[in-house]
Amino acid sequence: MKVWILQTGEPLHIDNDASRPMRAINLSNKLVERGHQVTLWSSKYNHQKKIQRPNKYKNININDNLKIILISSTGYKKNISLSRLVDHFFLAINLQKKLNKIEVLPDVVFIGYPPIESAYVMAKWLKKNNIPSILDVKDQWPIVLVRSSPKLLRPIASILSFPYFLMAKKTMNYANSISAMSNGFLDWARKFSNTSPNEFDKVVYLTSPNTILTDTESTSAVEWWAKRGVIKNDKFRIMFVGSFSRAFDFDQILESAKELSLKNIDCEFVLCGDGELYKKLEKKALNYFNVKIIGWIDESKIIELSKVSSLFIAPYKNSDDFIISIPNKVIDSLRLALPIISPLKGEVKKLINNNNIGFYYNNSSSLVSSINILINDNNIQQQMSKNAENLYNSKFKFNNVYDDLVSHLENIAKK
């Protein structure tokens, strides 16, 4: 079976770094594993690093069954910016030019959404050529454009964004089916595009594979953490790994750290990542002896940190898109067999309460109360940890999710 994947804005096999594999890499690897021929379409511009990929060739053969086609675009420095819209415009134009020259057609196509423009071009071309497709909706664009605007300017932003709303709805209608990270997100996409559910719509969780470390990797990571005062002891430790961005509320963590300190409760937060708020958060944390701000860490350090931690915190803000989703940080906590604590309502709150895998909090006081419960009763912490592991294995296990997605694509191509 010949499968195309259009997935821009994600790490690729050709990126020589330790970036976390996402849909593009995970799905293409699984398809190749099953013997399918895969063409992965992506942008020459690296979204994570905000630089152009250095490859002088735009068609790269990774192996006999995997080829990457890079599409040129202008690039941008900020995620929410006019320059990003310009980049996506030229990305779509150049994609259309390449599609016009295609001779060998695919059997089925998996389209990443957003960006709207390139997804629109691909979905429309596939519809014209009677090639089945599934649109993987991972974000609420173009609503994000309006929501990120200052309140006073949102009516104007809505008017200016009208072409994008129209294009987005057309894209969802051109596709044969829709996939999303949760039932809530899938329902939103159907409602937004006024499309009816069909047998090929699917929830595909944002899960990652378990990594088995070598002895050398494990020892090196343990020593690295020891130099930073993070060792295996009786201290109750709460970990965070992610981006220091405005998607998260770190102020409540700092407030709870202060309250825990005043109550002489032996507990520390280890927050790891990078992003626009890193320097600001690092400066604030200097006033808290029980908060450590660490930069970006690789998978080996994440795993070893989880072994000396008791709880994973996912301090998402309650924006409309996160309320209807199950973000990958939540699934990461399950993969690491740690209870999770989060202020996120909707899908995540239901997941926590229905499976007894942690706590929901709505302010710093309830966060402290939840931490106290686990500190005072180790049996609850151990049971939640076991529940988290069991839930990952039964619902979010990487091989199960992606093997099922490959079978789903095979089924779409057949029917």
Express each pLDDT in 297-332 by its tens digit.
999 999 999 999 999 999 999 998 899 999 999 999
Q: What is the DSSP code string of 168-195?
A: HHHHHHHSSEEEESSHHHHHHHHHHHT-
Predicted structure pTM score? 0.89
Q: What is the pLDDT of residue 57?
A: 63
pLDDT digits (tens, 9 = 90+) for 145-189: 788 788 888 888 888 889 999 999 999 999 999 999 999 999 999
Specify the pLDDT at position 109: 98
What pLDDT digit, counting tens, does each position of 107-135 carry?
A: 999 999 999 999 999 999 999 999 999 99
Six token digits for residue 271: 């927050």
User: Could you tell me the two tokens for 182?
Assistant: 């949760």
Place of tokens 């974000």: 139
Architecture category of domain 215-396 in CATH: 3-Layer(aba) Sandwich (3.40)
Domain ranges in the chain? 2-207+398-414, 215-396
Q: Which of 354, 310, 302, 308 is CA-nearest to residue 329?
A: 302
Q: Pull the structure tokens for residue 189.
A: 């996409």
Report pLDDT for 387.
Answer: 97
Domain 2-207+398-414 is in which class? alpha beta
Tell me which residue of 415, 408, 412, 410 sits closest to 203, measured CA to CA.
408
Q: Could you read off the pLDDT of 192-221 as tens digits, one per residue? A: 999 988 999 999 999 988 888 999 999 999
> 47 forms bridges with which residues in the sheet?
none
Dump the DSSP string for 98-158.
HHTT--SPPSEEEEEE--HHHHHHHHHHHHHTT--EEEEE-S-TTHHHHHTS-GGGHHHHH
158-163: long-range contacts, CB 8 A cutoff, minimum separation 24: none
Please indicate whether the domains covering 2-207+398-414 and 215-396 agree at the CATH topology level.
yes
pLDDT digits (tens, 9 = 90+) for 23-51: 999 999 999 999 999 999 999 998 878 88
Q: What Å distances lie between residue 278 and 224, 275, 293, 313, CA to CA?
A: 20, 6, 8, 17
- DSSP class of residue 312? E
Of the ranges 51-55, 139-143, 290-294, which one carries the lowest mean pLDDT score?
A: 51-55
56-101 pLDDT per residue, tens: 668 889 999 999 999 999 988 887 778 888 999 999 999 999 999 9
pLDDT digits (tens, 9 = 90+) for 241-265: 998 988 999 999 999 999 999 999 8
DSSP 3-45: EEEE--SS--TT--S-PPP-HHHHHHHHHHHTT-EEEEEEESE
Contact 358, 311 (CB under 8 A): yes
Q: Is-contact 101 129, C-beta < 8 A? A: no
Regarding predicted confidence, which is higher, 15 or 169?
169
Q: What is the DSSP letter of 68?
A: E
Query: Are the C-beta atoms of 141 and 31 separated by less than 8 Å?
Result: no
Rounded Cα distance, 74 and 45, in Å? 8
Look-up of token digits 């049971």:
383
Give strand pairing partners of 41.
Answer: 6, 69
| Cα angle 274, 26, 17; round to 5 | 40
Return the half-sphere exposure (C-beta side, CA atoms, 13 A cut-off) of residue 56. Answer: 0
